[in-house]
Amino acid sequence: MKRALILTLCTAFGATAVAAGDVKPADVVYEDGVVNASLTGQAGDATNGRKVFANRKQGNCLACHANSDMPEEGFHGEVGPMMDGVGERWTEAELRGIVSNSKMVFEGTIMPAFYIDSGYERPLDKFAGQSILSAQQVEDIIAYLMTLKDS
Amino acid sequence: MTKKLWATFALISLGTSAAAQDSNSLSIDGEAMVTEIAAPSHMENVDTIYSGWRFRSVETQALEMDDFDNPAFVFVEQAEDLWDKVDGAAGKACSSCHEDVADFAGLRTQLPRVDDGELVTMENLINECRTERMEAEPWKWSKGNMTAMTALIGVQSRGMPMNVAIDGDAAPFWEKGKELYYTRVGQLDMACSNCHEDNYGMMIRADHLSQGQVNGFPTYRLKNAKLNSIHGRFKGCMKNIRATPFKEGGDEFKALELYLASRGQGLSVETPSVRN
């Protein structure tokens, strides 16, 4: 009972609560790992996506991926591939699939799925039933990644 | 894009070689420590095991090379006082029964172990003495008096090779620990192995991923300026991946401790080590 109430509150006030009109995490359609439809129906904001990419409490992508576009940030990770030129290597729909749930493409990857709200075990209560990022944050990150071109 | 091409990209990223551990060698007050040795045969995916010391900065490494510089010895000295301090209804101190703490040389290398069908760690042994013989209150698993005492008893084995039993009575506990090591948990959905087996040597933001060895515990961390228990460290890892930690002193963490100790067979006990 108490846990159910906490869950309700988390869902109501959590940063990643699903906004009306967003595709819910469970309803995202993957075709060979690719997600063609926008999660929000709106264009992503690349400027905000850049912030979400670096923010340790949001995407924290920099923990694993080095990114030459962020020389102002120290300590780029090296667990995953570099982000330089990622906007040329992948299409927007492919990136949407990788960010939302990379396990649909890369079996056994260490990379967390950023847009699922179930299927993981023993989450801390405050994260239970939630995705790491909101639909808008995923779209913002994709918009940012699409700006990362070689040359 | 075809699935085949995706897979190629995956392989390329997997193939990136680790920046890996450094080649420094550790001696503490002149005594050489084994920080690198062939992995025990039960480890299928790793050839060589390394102490966490090999993944730390030169400055952090230096703190462990001289007991005068090692901040953990403040706590070891506190434990020396606790050793002689009478506590509990029986009117006893540790030293009432145990003449010399040096008699515990070797104990750290063998823990956890199975006693009467139960897996026990050093914390369990200390609290058993406190409650059964001293008739005193048990100490909390990761509090200062406990970590100080595990450091004092542990340092008696410093330089000796880790050597836990994993067969016989210990086998089912070891199997359980192994299963936990490879089980993904938390909102980030990661297992111990994802970082400490698949990616040791890599930087994860500012942190250099080690193999997660436990041969130096309790360990003094610069991050919190105190001694940290093994189970306390497990708890921190689980919270980082947004998982509900298991209980300190519970069956899961004891089993995981045994499994991790067995992944460090042959490494020198470095207790009390210094890490970031």
Q: CA dist B1 to A102, A105, A115, A128, B7, Å?
A: 15, 11, 22, 34, 11
Residues B267, B174 share a domain: yes
B17, part of any domain: no
- pLDDT over threshold 70, residue B16: no
Token digits of residue B139: 């100490």
B8, part of any domain: no
* Cβ atoms of residues B199 and B18 within 8 Å: yes
* Cβ atoms of residues B272 and B70 within 8 Å: yes
Residues B79, B58 share a domain: no
The total number of structural domains in chain B stands at 2
Domain boundary residue, one of B155, B181, B211: B155
Give the DSSP letter of residue B132.
I
Residues B173, B107 share a domain: no
Indicate the pLDDT class of residue A151, thresholds 50, 70 and 90: low
**ipTM of the prediction:** 0.88
Residues B221, B202 share a domain: yes
Give B6's contacts in chain A (Cβ within 8 Å): 32-33, 105-106
Bridge pairing between strands B118-120 and B113-115: antiparallel
| Chain B stretch 244-273, residues whose beta carbon is closer than 8 A to a beta carbon of chain A | 244
pLDDT digits (tens, 9 = 90+) for A139-148: 999 999 999 9
Residues B98, B138 share a domain: yes
pLDDT in the model for residue B189? 98
Decide if B9 touches A, using CB distance below 8 A.
yes
Q: How do the domains of chain A map onto residue ranges?
A: 2-145
pLDDT digits (tens, 9 = 90+) for A80-132: 999 999 999 999 999 999 999 999 999 999 999 999 999 999 999 999 999 99
Closest chain A residue to the Cα of B14, Cα to Cα: A80
In a mutational test of the B interface, the residue from A89, A124, A131 whose CB has the highest number of chain B CBs within 10 Å is A124
How many Å apart are CA B272 and CA B269, to the nearest integer? 9
How many Å apart are CA A16 and CA A117, to the nearest integer? 10
Residues B96, B29 share a domain: no
Q: Which residue has the higher pLDDT, A8 or B228?
A: B228
What is the distance, to the nearest Å, from the Cα of residue B91 to the centroid of all Cα atoms in its chain?
A: 33
Q: Which domain holds residue B267?
A: 22-69+163-275
Domain boundary residue, one of B114, B129, B155: B155
pLDDT digits (tens, 9 = 90+) for B171-227: 999 999 999 999 999 999 999 999 999 999 999 999 999 999 999 999 999 999 999
pLDDT in the model for residue A18? 66
Known catalytic membership, residue B237: yes
Residues B83, B63 share a domain: no
Q: Is B98 annotated as a binding residue?
A: yes
Token digits of residue B197: 């087996």
Strand order in the sheet with B219-221: B226-228, B219-221, B273-275
- pLDDT over threshold 80, residue B18: no
Indicate the pLDDT class of residue B11, thresholds 50, 70 and 90: very low
Query: Of B111, B116, B101, B105, whose CA–CA distance to B169 is shortest?
Result: B116
- pLDDT over threshold 70, residue A6: no
Q: Do B194 and A91 touch (CB under 8 A)?
A: no
B7, part of any domain: no
Domain boundary residue, one of B134, B155, B176: B155
How many Å apart are CA A146 and CA B239, to the nearest integer? 32
Residues B82, B62 share a domain: no
CA dihedral sign of residues B264, B265, B267, B269? positive
Residues B219, B138 share a domain: no
From B46, B63, B93, B237, active-site residue: B237
DSSP B29-70: TTEE---EEEPPTT-SS-SEEE-GGGGS-HHHHHHTS-TTT-
Give B5's contacts in chain A (Cβ within 8 Å): none
What's the pTM?
0.91
- pLDDT over threshold 60, residue B261: yes
Q: Is B158 annotated as a binding residue?
A: no
- The topology (CATH level 3) of A2-145 is Cytochrome Bc1 Complex; Chain D, domain 2 (1.10.760)
pLDDT digits (tens, 9 = 90+) for A18-67: 677 899 999 999 999 999 999 999 999 999 999 999 999 999 999 999 99
Q: Do A132 and B204 touch (CB under 8 A)?
A: no
Residues B91, B177 share a domain: no
pLDDT in the model for residue A14? 45
Decide if A3 touches B, using CB distance below 8 A.
no
How many Å apart are CA B55 and CA B48, to the nearest integer? 14
Query: Of B106, B105, B143, whose CA–CA distance to B123 is shortest?
Result: B143
CATH number of the CATH domain containing B240: 1.10.760.10
Three-class SS of residue A109? coil
B9, part of any domain: no
B4, part of any domain: no
Q: CA dist B79 to A35, B33, B85, B94, Å?
A: 59, 24, 10, 10
Indicate the pLDDT class of residue B20, thresholds 50, 70 and 90: confident
pLDDT in the model for residue B19? 60
